[in-house]
């Protein structure tokens, strides 16, 4: 089946659709040996040879990549024999048979990737590849002196040694603190166990991004499809793209959704509440006349 050239290029992870149009307009793309600059050109991915800057574009079966902002209160599986709420409830609009890459605990929240791309999923989740995962952990009070250094030095857990690749203070919130912890494996409850082993009391666990793709702008319980350049970022972070090396560019980490108590975070209102109108002087005077006299301490109507 044929498709528009710029859509094909975007789908192959070469560039965003807009950038792909620029590549075509600049005469950097050829189809079956002929330079093509016309935007409407259609190609058949199964039959035509598309070349960008002298390099043939590899045709993969088009995979799906979906990012969910997992709220707490659901298990990372598509069906649960124990009948608990699962992440599947948030994938209603997704038609493809995607599966989760790795897992987040029942009470953990943040970036959870779903895909049909088995190669990439394997690279991102398999312990052999040591893919880096960044977490923000809310801990009770201030981290005790030396706790983060002990995580960095390595600790002994019941299933073997474990170590944080990075551990740093992130932010103070009222009486508690957020710390940033990076690990290179996905053992069960690893971050919680690392923290607890050095005396930290874990209150919340939030994964702000996965493989360089952030949940900034997504509401808890919502999904979005990755853009082609994000798929490329993921592939780079997994060491799968042409450049080969994981991307070391630091990402600005979004904050966890604010939440009170222990339930799933409330969705933010779709519309901001309207700002209150300044009263016009004559209306304010009328309001003052109609308003009942204040009662209690300091009020003008106080009886002595
Ligand atoms: N570490 C944990 O303890 N829990 C998670 O969900 C992920 C990492």
Residue 83 maps to a domain: yes
Q: What pLDDT, on a 0 to 100 scale, did the predictor assign at position 152? A: 98
Instruction: For residues 236 and 120, state if they share a domain.
Output: yes
d(CA 199, CA 190): 14
Task: Say whether both 234 and 194 belong to one domain.
Answer: no
Question: Do the bridges between strand 109-115 and strand 202-207 make them parallel or antiparallel, or are there none, so unpaired?
Answer: parallel
Domain count, the chain: 3
Torsion angles phi and psi, residue 2, rounded to 5? -85, 160
Distances (CA, A) of 10 to 22, 154, 190, 287: 12, 43, 37, 60
Give pLDDT, residue 72. Answer: 97
The predicted pLDDT at position 172 comes to 94
Q: Is residue 302 part of a domain?
A: no
Q: Is 44 a catalytic residue?
A: no
Identify whether 301 is part of a domain.
no
Report the pLDDT value the prediction gives residue 249, as an integer from 0 to 100: 55
Q: What is the pLDDT of residue 260?
A: 55
Residue showing tokens 């308003």: 291
Q: What is the pLDDT of residue 301?
A: 33
Residue 184: what pLDDT? 94
Residue 138 sits in the same domain as residue 110: no
Which residues does 125 contact at the CB level (< 8 Å), separation at least 6? 101, 102, 131, 186
Indicate whether 140 and 177 sit together in one domain: yes
Question: 186 C-alpha vs ligand 1 centroid, how far in Å?
Answer: 8
Ligand 1 midpoint to CA 250 (Å): 21
CATH number of the structural domain spanning residue 139? 3.30.2350.10
Catalytic residue among 80, 105, 142, 247: 105
Which protein residue's CA is at the shortest distance from atom 4 of ligand 1?
189
Residue at which a domain ends, from 210, 242, 261? 210
Q: Based on the fold, state whether residues 47 and 67 are members of the same structural domain.
A: no
User: Are 124 and 243 part of one and the same domain?
Assistant: yes
> How many other CB atoms are there within 10 angstroms of residue 105's CB atom?
15
Nearest one of 138, 256, 135 to 202, comparing CA atoms: 138
CATH number at residue 23: 3.10.290.10
Which of 213, 228, 214 minimizes the C-alpha distance to 60?
A: 228
Residues 125 and 232 in one domain: yes
Residues with CB under 6 A from ligand 1: 104-105, 108, 189-192, 205
Ligand 1 centroid from CA 268, angstroms: 25
- d(CA 158, CA 197) in angstroms, rounded, equals 10
CA nearest 240: which of 112, 124, 133, 127?
A: 124
Q: Looking at the domain assignment, is residue 276 inside a domain?
A: no
Residue 235 belongs to some domain of the structure: yes
Tell me the residue range of the domain where 21 lies.
Answer: 3-56
Q: Contact at 8 Å (CB) between 248 and 141?
A: no
Ligand 1 nearest-atom number relative to CA 133: 8
What does DSSP say about strands 50-52 and 29-31: parallel, antiparallel, or unpaired?
antiparallel
Same domain, 215 and 125: yes
The pLDDT score that the predictor gives to residue 250 is 59
- Does one domain contain both 110 and 247? yes
Q: Are residues 204 and 223 in the same domain?
A: no
Say yes or no: 79 and 219 in one domain: yes
Rounded (5°) CA angle 170-259-208:
45
- Model-wide pTM > 0.85: no
In a domain, 247, yes or no: yes
Domain harbouring 218, CATH code: 3.30.70.580
Mark whether 34 and 145 lie in a shared domain. Answer: no
In order along its 304 residues, the chain shows pLDDT tens digits of 688 898 888 777 677 777 888 999 999 999 999 999 998 899 988 789 999 999 998 766 678 999 999 999 999 999 999 999 999 999 998 888 889 999 999 999 999 999 988 888 888 988 888 899 999 999 999 999 999 999 999 999 999 999 999 999 999 999 999 999 999 999 999 999 999 999 999 999 999 999 999 999 999 999 999 998 899 889 888 888 755 555 455 568 888 988 754 443 333 333 333 333 443 444 434 443 433 333 333 333 333 3
């Amino acid at each position: 089946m044929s498709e528009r050239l710029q859509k094909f290029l975007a789908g192959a992870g070469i560039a965003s659709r807009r950038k792909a149009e620029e590549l075509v307009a600049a005469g950097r793309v050829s189809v079956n040996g002929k330079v093509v600059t016309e935007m409407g050109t259609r190609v058949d991915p199964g039959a035509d040879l598309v070349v960008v800057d002298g390099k043939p574009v590899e045709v993969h079966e088009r995979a799906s990549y979906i990012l969910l902002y997992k709220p707490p209160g659901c298990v990372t599986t598509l069906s649960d024999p124990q009948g608990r709420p699962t992440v599947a409830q948030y994938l209603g609009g997704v038609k493809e048979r995607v599966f989760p890459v790795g897992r987040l605990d029942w009470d953990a929240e943040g970036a959870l990737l779903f895909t049909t791309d088995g190669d990439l999923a394997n690279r991102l989740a398999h312990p052999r590849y040591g893919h880096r995962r960044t977490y923000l952990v809310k801990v009770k009070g201030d981290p005790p002196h030396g706790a983060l250094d002990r995580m960095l030095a390595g600790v002994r857990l019941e299933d073997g040694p474990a170590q944080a690749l990075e551990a740093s203070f992130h932010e103070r919130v009222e009486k508690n603190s957020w710390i940033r912890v990076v690990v290179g494996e996905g053992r069960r409850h690893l971050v919680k166990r690392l923290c607890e082993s050095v005396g930290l009391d874990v209150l919340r666990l939030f994964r702000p991004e996965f493989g360089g793709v952030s949940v900034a702008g997504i509401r808890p319980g919502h999904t979005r499809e990755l853009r082609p350049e994000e798929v490329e970022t993921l592939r780079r972070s997994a060491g799968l793209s042409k450049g080969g090396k994981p991307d070391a560019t630091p990402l600005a980490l979004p904050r966890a959704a604010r939440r009170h108590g222990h339930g799933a975070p409330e969705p933010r209102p779709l519309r901001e509440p309207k700002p209150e109108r300044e009263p016009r002087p004559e209306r304010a005077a009328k309001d003052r006349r109609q308003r009942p006299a204040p009662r209690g301490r300091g009020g003008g109507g106080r009886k002595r």
